[in-house]
Amino acid sequence: MIEAPDLSLAALTPLISLFGAACIGVLIEAFAPRESRHPAQVAVALVGTVGGLVSTLVLAGTRDGNDVTAGGALAVDGAGLFLQATIAGLGALSILLFAERALDPARSSFVAAAAVPAGSPRDRELLTADRVQTEVYPLATFAIGGMMLFVAANDLLIMFVALEVLSLPLYLISGLARRRRLLSQEAAVKYFLLGAFASAFFLYGLALVYGATGSVRLSTIQESVATAGGDTLMVLGLALLIVGLMFKASVAPFHTWTPDVYQGAPTPVTAFMAACTKVAAFGAILRLLYVGFGTDEWTWRPLVYGIAIVSMVVGAVLGLTQTDLKRMLAYSSIAHAGFLLTGVLGFDAAGESPGLSATLFYLLVYGLTTLGAFAVLTMVRDGDGEATHLSQWAGLAQRSPVVAAVMTLFLLALAGIPLTSGFTGKFAVFRAAIDDGAWPLAVVALLASAVAAFFYLRVVVLMYFSEPVAGGPTVGVPGLPTTIVLAVTAAATLVLGVVPGSVLDLAGQAANLVG
């Protein structure tokens, strides 16, 4: 007998909002005349993401207690909603970055026609053409929807589907840079091949867990783990699942794609990936580890402990010698993944420990800060697009003090200097880790952040303490979208550093996972 699964439409509103917007975007792409596509696409994507944000917030405000819906495949809990709201908000900001038309003389960061071979006469012709690519908006909206689904998935299969829904559009839009197309295409190929490879691991892990427990529902897996303990099949499955998720979160040693893809992808896309993908991936990691394998902590705990250290060290140390800002921020993202894992560790299933709320908060502030940093990168340009080589930033503060100041703010936040959001976040996760007795990990993390601080500082040194080079880059005057992004992220970075109380409260209240 088949029963219709219970389905709370209210709980699905955010997802519907996103996926709906994406579908409308596809339709616009198909039917709207070319001239009106861009504004329409931007509007739809923004409505979708902001709608997703608002509906998530409304949902969070009105819901009573935690819930699972869609036949138990989706979790509607505090952490899920917090992460969904974070992703939707960061996604909306990313869409704004995509929509910026004032900075590039060619009016967009995205290629006019992806199918035209790079470097061909037609390509050169199109480079200066006013034509813009608008497929990125529905693609990005799909990706955001996928991410929001990812963090709410209460079922490994849904998780897998969400993983693909968020990944596939990302593969595509990574390859859509208007300038330096070869790099962009290379990034797309690498991301795609490795991403597919990682998905296969995740999937195989899913299959093994299914084989071990007979179910892919996280709650069922937990029960099974609690009663049966971990047999080899399940442990292998867990390992492979972790591999798949760590890949998305760009945690070392599964980070190798990150620098290449971050560097090659169009900068707004990099910003989007760095901010939103990280949030989504950690949402899934939290859910998998605590909801699915929460009773099996002792198995994966040492592993995550080790991975966290490796990731922090690799990110911090490798970042030292980078000369490209985007690559440097990629390594920074790897190091931050390690810091986030310390927060993940500082959480026990009983929910007493502040690890979950700390991780949620950290994800929010990291997303905002890194998005802002990449947004600044889009503004500093030379004749061939963004000037991302470090040496080009020398003396920037004297050309453009405001941009340099904003960038410095983001860099200080990434370095975790007090009175910026980055410090509050770091403090929160390290407190969680130490509270849980993992103080050696916290000490390693702190030393790693000191090392990482060196390369953040190097940028500040260049901007402020070096004399400008002749023929250096120009700082473009941003249009409204980028201005909004910078204003929001910079204000958030400062506010969450000085008076983080209310947001911490929010994260604290949101810190629960439904099983």
Q: Classify residue 352 by its DSSP letter.
A: -
Q: How far apart are CA 330 and CA 261, in angstroms?
A: 9
Binding piece for other proteins, criterion CB under 8 A, among 143-151, 171-179, 266-274, 471-479: 171-179
Query: Rule CB under 8 A: is residue 434 a binding residue for other proteins?
Result: yes
Q: Residue 38, interface with other proteins (CB under 8 A)?
A: no
Nearest-10 crossing angle of helices 34-62, 78-98: 160
Per CB under 8 A, does 247 bind other proteins?
yes
Residue 409, CA distances (Å) to 153, 394, 401 in order: 35, 17, 12
83 contacts other proteins (rule: CB under 8 A): no
> How far is it, in rounded angstroms, from Cα 387 to Cα 379?
9
Restricting to residues 359-388, name those near other proteins by CB under 8 A.
Answer: none
Q: Which is nearer to other proteins, 29 or 479 (CB)?
A: 29
Contacts with other proteins: how many residues (CB under 8 A)?
115
Cis-peptide into 253, omega within 30 deg: yes
For residue 72, count CB atoms less than 10 angstroms from its CB and return exposed for 0-12, middle for 13-18, buried for 19 or more.
middle
Q: Which stretch binds other proteins (CB under 8 A): 86-94, 268-276, 318-326, 479-487?
A: 318-326
For residue 181, state whether it binds other proteins (rule: CB under 8 A): yes
- Among 240, 291, 363, 403, which residue sits at the site for other proteins (rule: CB under 8 A)? 240
Whole-number Å distance between alpha carbons of 197 and 226: 31
> Is-contact 359 429, C-beta < 8 A?
yes
Q: Residue 36 or 502: which CB sits closer to other proteins?
A: 502
Does position 127 interact with other proteins (CB under 8 A)? The reply is no
Q: In angstroms, rounded to a whole number, what is the distance separating the alpha carbons of residues 2 and 11?
A: 23
Binding mask 266-305 for other proteins (x = CB under 8 A): --------------------------------xxx-xx--
Of 302 and 383, the one with the shorter C-beta distance to other proteins is 302
Segment lying near other proteins (by CB under 8 A), choices 43-51, 73-81, 228-236, 385-393: 228-236
The distance of closest approach from Cβ of residue 408 to other proteins in the complex, given in angstroms and rounded to an integer, is 9
CA distance 439 to 435: 8
Residue 421 Cβ vs other proteins, minimum distance, rounded to whole Å: 12
Q: Please answer whether residues 199 and 163 qualify as being in contact, where contact means their C-beta atoms are separated by less than 8 angstroms.
A: yes
Taking the alpha carbons at both ends of the chain, their separation in whole angstroms is 26
Q: Is 425 in the site for other proteins (CB under 8 A)?
A: no
3-state secondary structure string across 38-70: HHHHHHHHHHHHHHHHHHHHHHHHHCCCCEEEC
Which of 363, 17, 26, 368 lies closest to 169, judged by CA? Answer: 26
The binder of other proteins chosen from 7, 27, 58, 193 (CB under 8 A)? 193
> Least distance from C-beta 246 to other proteins, angstroms?
8
- Assess 453 for contact with other proteins (CB under 8 A): yes
Q: Which of 226, 228, 402, 450 contacts other proteins by CB under 8 A?
A: 450
Interface of this chain with other proteins, residues 468 to 507, rule: CB under 8 A:
499-501, 504-505
Nearer to other proteins, 181 or 381 (CB): 181
- Establish if 118 lies at the interface with other proteins (CB under 8 A): yes
